[in-house]
Amino acid sequence: MILSPRTVKLTTRTGIDIHRTLPHRSIRTIGAWCFIDHFGPTVQDDAMSVAAHPHVGLQTVSWLFDGRVEHRDSLGSIQIIHPGELNLMTAGRGIAHSELSGTDTEIMHGVQLWTVLPDSVRNTIPTFDHYSDLPVIRQKEIEVRLFVGQYMGEESPARIFSELVGAEISLAAGSIHQLPLRADFEYGALLVAGDIVINKDEVPLTNLYYSAPGKTTLHVSTVTGATIVLLGGTPFLEEIVMWWNFIGRNHDEIVKMRADWNGESQVFPYFEDHIHGRIPAPDLPNIQLQPRGNIRPVIN
């Protein structure tokens, strides 16, 4: 199955187009991965300027291919992220942060990913971690930068709460590969640069190829060379309510999260940044938000 993205605006401040493939009407999660945004490459000035906003019940996974971004949060963290480095923010019971690209950044290109926290840990104390020394696997005509989980005999130091993998994989022009998979994992392969054919299916740029559990290899080939983001995990079976930047388990939890943020509760302490603003939570829909499990597509 190939999932096509929908285009959304990063913020009204910048107007940058984002390609969002997850959640998708055909499938909501891949393992615990619940959100996939691909942005850039763009040369727009002020490419990323996202004012303070909250998260609850999830982890944010920030990964760049080009550019640099300053992260600030309500824990007091201040961290510049560069390509090949990982910013991992565990929202737990509640955190707020902002993101601002550097004025000397000519090209911005990256992905913003979320994972849903299992019920047993979703109210944990919020934390922020930066990892600059991550495993890099180099073999003939392939390079793998592993940012989450285990892959090809290496393990990322990133602290996660589900069985997951996340990796940037670069393939040389004219190469053919059999990428190893875990049979108990489902996977998504997001094409962020170049061209690729996966299991005889040509995958368009910014699209996500979905592979159901049961497979042990992914057959990939490229003509001009390719960069993909491979995401996988054991299927996430809990029912969740995912609304705006919050993940809960029922409607009332989401109502409280929204009220805490818009009411400037101490759940989300104030912090200084260079953007000077807060993004208010939107109005709730006039319906009761219902918890939902993932859609499991039938794939021959």
> Model confidence over 55-98: pLDDT tens digits?
999 999 999 999 999 999 999 999 999 999 999 999 999 999 99
Is residue 283 domain-resident? no
Contact (CB, 8 A) for 66 and 74: no
> Model confidence over 135-192: pLDDT tens digits?
999 999 999 999 999 999 999 999 999 999 999 999 999 999 999 999 999 999 999 9
CA 247 to mean position of chain CA atoms? 14
Indicate whether 233 pLDDT > 60.
yes
Which of 4-8, 201-205, 260-264 has the least mean pLDDT?
A: 4-8
- The answer for residues whose C-beta is within 8 angstroms of residue 266's C-beta and 6 or more apart is none
Indicate whether 21 pLDDT > 80.
yes
Give the pLDDT confidence score for residue 77 in this predicted structure: 98
Q: How far apart are the first and last CA of the chain?
A: 10
Tokens of 73: 């949060």
CA 39 to mean position of chain CA atoms? 11
Q: Is the pTM of this model over 0.85?
A: yes
Tokens of 173: 């022009």
Contact (CB, 8 A) for 40 and 108: yes
CATH of the domain at 214: 2.60.120.10
- Tell me how many domains the chain contains: 1
Is residue 245 domain-resident? no
**Domain that residue 34 falls in:** 2-233
